[in-house]
Amino acid sequence: MHHSLLPGLVASAALSLTALAATPATTHASEVFSQSEVSIVVPWSPGGRTDVGTRLWAPYLESELGKPVVVLNRPGGGGMVGVRDLLSMDDGHAIGAFSLSQILSQWTKVPPLDMSQYKPVAMPFSLPFVLVVDKDAPWQDAAEFVAYAQDQRVTFGVSGSGTSGHIAAATLASVSDIEARFAPYDGDAGAVTALLGKEVEAVTAPMVSVVQQVEAGELRALGVSLEHGDELHEGIPTFKEQGIDFVLGDFGGALYLPATVSDEFVEEWEQVLERTFADPELQQRLADMYIQTDFVGAGELEALVEEWNPHFEQLVEDLGLRLAP
């Protein structure tokens, strides 16, 4: 089966921030945000990639708004509990950090996630996946891992059934003619813990979820799912460079509001977030965590999701992950 899935997924959403970089770093609190604080709902446990990325930029949003920003972890149901809880927070002061897992939940969950209940606001960044193994594993690169796994069944730890981590691991297995098991855990953090405990042989996750373990020498990164290598993943060869046709990006913490929230709030959130992610200091801090800032606003995000949906739905079908009718 051929899966060079959305080769431009990481790059296609790129938006130049040159003009924005000159925006003064002043507070732009709006009368629209009348409550004493705002919240970011993260539908995963603390320590996962969406949580880590959100907690990096939340203080900059707080500075921009001039009021407290609270990160609310609402894990459970493979990312479904948090986004459904968001629907009850419809005064415009709570925004949800979605990932590819939520988009896939349109087909991988019963009942399926109804995306018409949400309004897109922005996608600040997108992330490729890296394949990581334990430091004591015998494989030095992805090609060696694939060669082994073609003869010996391996087990991937994944961030939940039907999540982006599951999709990434299953796609890698498919393009490499690997028969693999997929053990679901509670988010990337759970899958990484299982890998460190030698419960599984490998994990596919964005670098932000494994960077501490990789830099500490506890895990080894064998490949990255970029079309072409970049500075943020220097030293990690792409899968394509190793003869493996695996290119895939995550959704990058896309931000959504309940559909019942007014368009005025959507516009205000988009503007505030655009200013927040134009901060050079924040961009550098995100880069230090292997996150490239590629800000996309509400209209472009909506168009991109409409374009990507048929590809994702077909992938779910091909991998036998479809549960929703």
Greater confidence (86 vs 304) lies with 86
Q: Which residue has the tokens 């149901």?
A: 77
Q: What's the CA gap between 29 and 63, in Å, rounded?
A: 9
Please compute the mean of the pLDDT values over residues 29-57 and round it to a whole number: 86
Q: Which residue has the tokens 């732009």?
A: 28
**Last residue of one domain, picked from the residues 242, 262, 283:** 242
Tell me the pLDDT tens digit for each residue of 250-280. 776 799 999 999 999 999 999 999 999 999 9
Residue 30: which pLDDT band, with cuts at 50, 70 and 90? low
pLDDT at 75: 93
- Is 90 exceeded by the pLDDT of residue 50? no
Q: What's the CA gap between 7 and 183, in Å, rounded?
A: 27
The verdict on residue 238 lying in a domain is yes
Residues 226 and 210 occupy one common structural domain: yes
The verdict on residue 1 lying in a domain is no
Residue 324: which pLDDT band, with cuts at 50, 70 and 90? confident
- Is 90 exceeded by the pLDDT of residue 161? no
CATH number at residue 310: 3.40.190.150
- Report yes or no: 132 and 165 within 8 Å, Cβ to Cβ: no
Q: Using CB atoms within 10 Å of the CB of residue 325, give its burial: 0 to 12 exposed, 13 to 18 middle, 19+ buried.
A: exposed
Q: What's the CA gap between 194 and 157, in Å, rounded?
A: 7
pLDDT at 253: 79
Tell me the pLDDT tens digit for each residue of 63-90. 999 999 999 999 998 889 999 999 999 9
Tell me the pLDDT tens digit for each residue of 92-144. 999 999 988 888 899 988 899 999 999 999 999 878 999 999 999 999 999 99
Task: Count CA atoms within 13 Å of residue 157 on its CB side.
Answer: 25
Residues 44 and 113 occupy one common structural domain: yes
Residues 39 and 135 occupy one common structural domain: no
Helix (H, G, I), strand (E, B) or coil at 26: coil
Range of the domain at 228: 130-242
Question: How many residues are listed for the chain in this entry?
Answer: 325
Residues 26 and 65 occupy one common structural domain: yes
Residues 170 and 213 occupy one common structural domain: yes
Residue type at 115 in one-letter notation: M
Residues 226 and 274 occupy one common structural domain: no
Task: Tell me the percentage of the chain whose pLDDT exceeds 90.
Answer: 60
Q: Can you list the alpha helix ranges (DSSP code H) found in the chain?
A: 49-65, 80-86, 100-108, 142-149, 164-175, 187-196, 207-215, 263-277, 280-288, 298-318
Please compute the mean of the pLDDT values over residues 16-25 and round it to a whole number: 34
The verdict on residue 5 lying in a domain is no
Q: What's the CA gap between 209 and 4, in Å, rounded?
A: 23
Q: Which residue has the tokens 């959504």?
A: 256
Q: What's the CA gap between 159 and 190, in Å, rounded?
A: 7
71-105 burial: b if 16+ Cβ within 10 Å, else e = ebbbbbebbbebbbbbeebeebbbbbbbbbbbbbb
pLDDT at 252: 67
CATH number at residue 208: 3.40.190.10
DSSP state of 92: S
Chain centroid, CA 289 distance in Å: 13
- Is 60 exceeded by the pLDDT of residue 10? no
The total of structural domains in the chain comes to 2
The verdict on residue 6 lying in a domain is no
